[in-house]
Amino acid sequence: MPYGGEVTDRSVTAQQYGQFLIDVFEEWVRHNIAEVYVQMFDVALANWYMVHLLRQNRAPSEVMRLYATRDQEWQALLAKTGRNNPCPCGSGKKFKHCHGRDQS
Ligand SMILES: [Zn+2]
């Protein structure tokens, strides 16, 4: 991920962050990246965003509430991933050998 290191200690407004997402998303769409990679990217971006919020000294309760929302989306993503598909966490393993292990 080339994006994480470049924005770490700068504060970014919500509008700038939104524009950042749009720019990145359009770039990915333009290159016709497969859906699974977009999902992986989304998870990576969500994790980066949590770190970003914590570095801005946002209240942990607020960050955790956002994280709970993301977790619901993550669970929904797990629920629709096939057992023989690559795990959406980006490990490169099959889902059934990674986060899919405890799902039946
Ligand atoms: Zn996994």
Distance 33 CA to ligand 1 centre (A): 20
pLDDT band at residue 44 using 50, 70 and 90 as cut-offs? confident
pLDDT the model gives residue 1 = 47
Distance 94 CA to ligand 1 centre (A): 8
Chain position carrying tokens 């959406």? 88
Average pLDDT over residues 38-56: 71
Distance 98 CA to ligand 1 centre (A): 4
Distance 102 CA to ligand 1 centre (A): 11
Compute the chain's Rg from CA coordinates: 15
The pair of structure tokens assigned to 64 is 């955790």
Q: What is the pTM of this model?
A: 0.41
Distance 16 CA to ligand 1 centre (A): 30
Q: Give residue-wise pLDDT tens across range 48-101.
A: 777 777 777 777 777 777 777 777 888 888 899 999 999 888 888 999 999 898
**Res. 38: pLDDT tops 70:** no
